[in-house]
Chains A and B, each alone.
Chain A
Amino acid sequence: MKKEVVLLDSFDDLVDKLIYILTENGYSVHIITSQDRGEKFIDKPVYIHSTDFNSLQSIKSEEDLEKVFHGIEFESVEIGILVFPDDDLNINIARYLRRNGVPKIIVGLRSDEKTIIAEKEGFQVVNVPNCVLGRIQRILSLKFTRITPVRGNISILECLVTGDMKILGKTISELEREYNVSVIIIRDGDKILNGGDEEIQEGDYLIVVGSTGNLMEMIR
């Protein structure tokens, strides 16, 4: 069934990573951004809701929110992710999404005071100075693909191997050579395999370390 996410632009590279992870996990993404940022997302498979507001901070009233979210069918929206660098706007939109029946809402916040308010209202809060992407991925319990940046361009990929993946049937050493990565297989829940001759099978859970680009290419 159709799974939709409303994602408020973070105005940094976090939003790109979130889009990649969410679309890789089968979500249809509605990105809410400002008028002048629409073009930034045209090479991504997302709906771009570029508001008439030059700055998202000018969104205040219910009428503004109705205008911004026009055309989104909230009955299909499973998750709202609000990581704009303004705590008040994130909470304001979280309340609007809640009123429209969105079941899971994740709010990125900076101030402790706002965190307490948001948690009291039942929102999932991630504190922005911490590893936001990793936290969001854990909250969402993504089933198929997670890529968590570690340092610089290096990331950890966690992914469930499905029958349609091109890496199926390759050995660990083949993958490591081809993509310049390190691979561990978790099989049958608790077996850890790292021998070079181990073949990737459907249902395996992979932990892979490598450059973000190579990891994305590996699971494409």
Chain B
Amino acid sequence: MLRKDWLRRELNTFDIYSLVHHDSQSTYYLMMGFIAYYAGRESFLVGIYAVALMIIIALVYGEMGSHFPESGGSYLYVKYSIGRFIGFLSAWFLAFDQIVMISYGTLDASKYIVSLASHMNLAISLLLEHIPIQILAISFSTILFILTLIGIRESATSAKIVAIIDFISVGLLMILPGIIITLLNKGFIDPPYFKWRNIDPLDLFFALALASRGFTGIDALGQLAGEARKPLIQIPRATILVIVIGTIYSISLMYLLMTMVSYTELSSDPVLSIFLIASSIPILTPLIVSAASINIILIMILAALTGYVSFSRLLYILSTDKVLPPRLGDVHRRFRTPHIALLISFLISTLFLLPGEIELIVEPYAIGSLINYLLVSFSLAILSKRGGLYGAFTSPRIFGVAITALLGIIILSVALVIVIIAKQRALLIILTWVIIGVVLYLINRRLVKS
């Protein structure tokens, strides 16, 4: 029987945004407390740096994405402008973070559930304490695997529901009343410096390194083009949503954290920063705390879902482009999803889950993404200078080069240097990953040629 062995175009702009929302928000929700812990009274400025970086990455991806109607994101962008091998390398760097996101999202959600159950003295906490954390994480991962296998529409619907829960629990119940109450109490003139401690330069440097990794995941925008109904206009529109909502959330949450939470409270457990803000809202406190806690768990799980979608689509396009073995590009007969690539995603992410250590997973996270974003910025610079491919979204030009590309190259180079200096140990893991990728690439190209 003949079958349609390509992806189904079903996503609208909000679907695309929702699938990206969790990936980028989850990283910031986790990192924000640590950024504030290290940056002290400079946290607000460091938060602005993180937002500026996010805006530039999103603009670069949005502009590049408005030229390409297929899944593949950065692989296609870099291949088109620079060449196939560098395109593959950029995608391979990114793939590491996408697979890590699956492990990290499910493991972090599991840990959060156990801590929350214990904190709230729920009866189930006794049971949860006796279950290895890996089992819980692998269970979540299995559910996500099935969900992403069934169809992109179902994944997008789940992502939309959780994005709406996030808007209600964080946007409506925390940020809005928090800002109103703070402004009524303190007035508009009180700057977000507060009474937090001064910090030494080394801590500030570390905070900047964390902030540089604060919004990775935006790249998923480009992976979804092959399933968007009108990719050339929907990808830039989803980018605008990422920028607007991401900026409002990040600036407001950092402001509230520094206004409503003391540094001592934050220091006790920086990972709970969202929880601490929720606890400080004087109205409907139990409701807001519960909503925020459930929301964090859902966001982490859905970030893992985005990891599944992104990594599997990347393998799919690399396979259909004959860079990786052809079986990885197989599409399920009924669901029209890349089922072999999804299975590979499940298996590799499960390997990362087995030690059950979140630090081990997070340590090398985001270096690959930053290298990828830098290469995409260079690609946009080349594409905009050379012309030829029409895009639905174009930024102003300086000497024929997109201004977003130039800003991207500058700010991402700085961010990458900061992160590499702060995370030297992780370089070995990244290097191993790259060697595996290059070997796979060379073997497969040889097979294709022969």
Using CB atoms and an 8 Å cutoff, list the residues of chain A in contact with chain B: 1-2, 26, 28, 33, 38-39, 41-52, 67-68, 70-71, 76, 143-144, 160, 162-164, 202-203
Tally B residues with Cβ within 8 Å of A: 35
Q: Which chain B residue shows the least CB distance to A2?
A: B320
Judge if B8 is at the interface, Cβ distance under 8 Å: yes
With A143-B2, A162-B4, A202-B1 as contacts: A45 and B230 at CB distance below 8 Å: yes
Q: Is the CB of A48 within 8 A of B389?
A: yes
| A160 cross-chain contacts in B, Cβ below 8 A | 2
Instruction: Return the 5 tightest CB-CB contacts between A and B, nearest first.
Output: A38-B390, A48-B390, A50-B390, A45-B69, A42-B392
The SS class assigned to the A binding surface is loop
Q: Is the CB of A67 within 8 A of B388?
A: yes
Which one of A1, A2, A71, A143 contacts B388 once the chains associate, using CB atoms below 8 Å? A71
| A162 cross-chain contacts in B, Cβ below 8 A | 2-4
Q: Is the CB of B3 within 8 A of A163?
A: yes
CB distance from A158 to the nearest CB of B (A): 14
CA distance A203 to B333 in the complex (A): 13
| B2 cross-chain contacts in A, Cβ below 8 A | 143-144, 160, 162
Give 18 A-B contacts (CB < 8 Å), ordered by A residue: A26-B6, A28-B69, A28-B70, A41-B232, A42-B230, A42-B390, A42-B392, A43-B232, A45-B69, A48-B67, A49-B388, A50-B388, A50-B389, A162-B2, A162-B3, A163-B3, A163-B334, A164-B333
CB-defined interface of B54-75 with A at 8 Å, one 1/0 digit per residue?
Answer: 0000000000001111100000
Judge if B214 is at the interface, Cβ distance under 8 Å: no
Q: Is the CB of B390 within 8 A of A49?
A: yes
CB distance from A152 to the nearest CB of B (A): 26
Q: Which chain A residue shows the least CB distance to B230?
A: A43
Q: Which chain B residue shows the least CB distance to A24?
A: B4
CB distance from B190 to the nearest CB of A (A): 46
Judge if B329 is at the interface, Cβ distance under 8 Å: yes
CB-defined interface of B217-245 with A at 8 Å, one 1/0 digit per residue?
Answer: 00000000000111111000000000000
Interface set, chain B 378-407, CB cutoff 8 A to A: 386-390, 392
Q: Is the CB of A42 within 8 A of B388?
A: no
CB distance from B130 to the nearest CB of A (A): 43
Judge if B111 is at the interface, Cβ distance under 8 Å: no
Judge if B167 is at the interface, Cβ distance under 8 Å: no
| B392 cross-chain contacts in A, Cβ below 8 A | 39, 42
Given contacts A39-B392, A45-B231, A164-B334, 5 further A-B contacts (CB under 8 A): A42-B230, A43-B232, A45-B69, A45-B229, A144-B2
CB distance from A58 to the nearest CB of B (A): 15
| B321 cross-chain contacts in A, Cβ below 8 A | 2, 76
Q: Is the CB of A42 within 8 A of B389?
A: no
Q: Which chain A residue shows the least CB distance to B333?
A: A163
CA distance A71 to B336 in the complex (A): 28
| B69 cross-chain contacts in A, Cβ below 8 A | 28, 44-47
| B66 cross-chain contacts in A, Cβ below 8 A | 42
Judge if B129 is at the interface, Cβ distance under 8 Å: no
Among B233, B386, B392, chain A packs the most CB atoms within 10 A around the CB of B392
Q: Which chain A residue shows the least CB distance to B336?
A: A164
Which one of B3, B233, B320 contacts A42 once the chains associate, using CB atoms below 8 Å? B233
Judge if B423 is at the interface, Cβ distance under 8 Å: no
CB-defined interface of B1-42 with A at 8 Å, one 1/0 digit per residue?
Answer: 111111011000000000000000000000000000000000
| A143 cross-chain contacts in B, Cβ below 8 A | 2
With A2-B321, A42-B392, A70-B386 as contacts: A26 and B5 at CB distance below 8 Å: yes
CA distance A107 to B249 in the complex (A): 55
Q: Is the CB of A164 within 8 A of B8?
A: yes
CA distance A94 to B386 in the complex (A): 25
Among B66, B69, B334, chain A packs the most CB atoms within 10 A around the CB of B69
| B335 cross-chain contacts in A, Cβ below 8 A | 164
Judge if B326 is at the interface, Cβ distance under 8 Å: yes
Which one of A44, A51, A144, A163 contacts B230 once the chains associate, using CB atoms below 8 Å? A44
